[in-house]
Structure 1
Amino acid sequence: MATQWEEYESELRAGDADRVNAVVDEIREMNIMERTEAFEGWFAGATDLYRSHEDGYVRQSCVRVVQQFAPRLPAAVTLQSSDVASPPAETVHDQTDAVCGFLLEAITDEDGRVRQSAKRALKDCIRAYDALEETATIEGLIRELETMAAGASGKQAKHLREAKEDAEFFMQSGLGRLIEGFEKEFGDALDS
């Protein structure tokens, strides 16, 4: 009988959008503790598949699945509540670091779909770091993305710069974020 990860891997390898979306949705619906407990094996499986597969859609699917593995903001928030079961803080940090490291690799992928998915997923890592008050980690990520963008060209450099801007957004004060978010959402309408 196949393990849960083997079933997921089979669905990802198929490259069928409906099957991939079902896997992503199923993992998303798991509670924090279930994802945390399954993380090590599933993360290794997804990153191995990513690195070994030539099909850009399959690599993008791996990034989307890894995004769901990440402890993300809910895990960071539940660390502050004694009423909700949550993984140890060290586990949340370690898993977020592992996901972030993988996403830094994926954001340089030759396929733009993969880079876009990695860029979106990085936001989840940054939100978790922000909730954990890991300012130094976000600053380091900004520097790394800046260095990576300087060594890239074309769309790849653009995606890296956009990811850096997303990280910089989280370094602003709460009010600064609110104003910038409002301007991005309604800026053109305000000029009319």
Structure 2
Amino acid sequence: MDHTREAFADALSSGDTERVNRAIDEIENTELEERAALFDECFEMCRDLYEADNGYQRQSVIRFAAGLYPRLAYRTVGADLTDEALPGEWTLDEIATHHDRLRDLYVDALRDDDGRVRRAAAKAIKELALTAEMLGESDELRSMMDELEALAEECEDSKRKHIEQAYENVAFHAEKPFSLLPDGLRDALEGDEHSSGR
């Protein structure tokens, strides 16, 4: 399969499960540097394809976008986090741009009416949280959690389950309380725990 915007777009919009999965496998198995080189063009493709009325296509786009994430920060493990520690000519600003664009896409997807799309986004956002944890970006993790908490409050109950899953996936890396339960229910549960511990 050619690693071009056109080839990936054809596969993702085909509705053919085998072709979609092959495109996702292809991008996931591509070297980080090549993914980074493809990112801008293919991310715009993802944004365009996400506008479709077809829920399966939107889910496929989120899965592909997750595979497209270059994760260049992984190359800096064990070294000081500087532009020089990154491969090639990539910079920390570009890493941040990849992260921010994907974060916005995933948050949009968590509002989607199709549960398959929301589920894919809840899973995909975990990788962003892992990278933020690796980079020691506690403020970014807190910001992600705050955004998801606000999103859970504004969305109807049918969507809240997947938003809470996304929150828990981020909270795991932030080492924060996992629950988005209403305060009253959370307090009641904590009270039960204290009672049972006596």
Q: Name the TM-score class by shorter chain.
A: 0.7 to 0.9
Deviations 1:154-185 (A, max 9, x none): 23111112211221111129xx9xxxxxxxxx
Supply the AA of the counterpart residue of 1:77.
Answer: Y
Q: Which secondary structure state, in structure 2, belongs to the residue aligned with residue 71 of structure 1?
A: coil
Name the CA distance, whole Å, in 2 between partners of 1:27 and 1:3: 8
Supply the AA of the counterpart residue of 1:70.
Answer: Y
Decide whether the 8 Å contact of 1:79 with 1:88 is kept in 2. no
Q: So what's the TM-score if we normalise by structure 2?
A: 0.80
Q: Which residue of 2 aligns with 1:67?
A: 66
Name the CA distance, whole Å, in 1 between partners of 2:38 and 2:161: 34
Higher helix share: 1
Q: Which residue of 2 aligns with 1:26?
A: 26
Q: Which residue of 2 aligns with 1:157?
A: 160
Shift in Å, 1:88: 2.1
Q: Which secondary structure state, in structure 1, belongs to the residue aligned with residue 136 of structure 2?
A: coil
Percent identity at matched positions?
A: 28
Unaligned runs of 5+ in 1: 177-192
2:175 to 168, 172, 175: 172
Supply the AA of the counterpart residue of 1:133.
Answer: G
Decide whether the 8 Å contact of 1:50 with 1:62 is kept in 2. yes
Deviations 1:41-91 (A, max 9, x none): 10001111102x11100010000111011123xx21212457883632221
**Aligned pair in 2 of structure 1 residues 54, 26: CA closer, same or farther (>3 Å)?**
same
Decide whether the 8 Å contact of 1:76 with 1:132 is kept in 2. yes
Aligned length: 171
Q: Which residue of 2 aligns with 1:77?
A: 74
Q: So what's the TM-score if we normalise by structure 1?
A: 0.82
**Aligned pair in 2 of structure 1 residues 133, 84: CA closer, same or farther (>3 Å)?**
closer
Q: Which residue of 2 aligns with 1:89?
A: 92
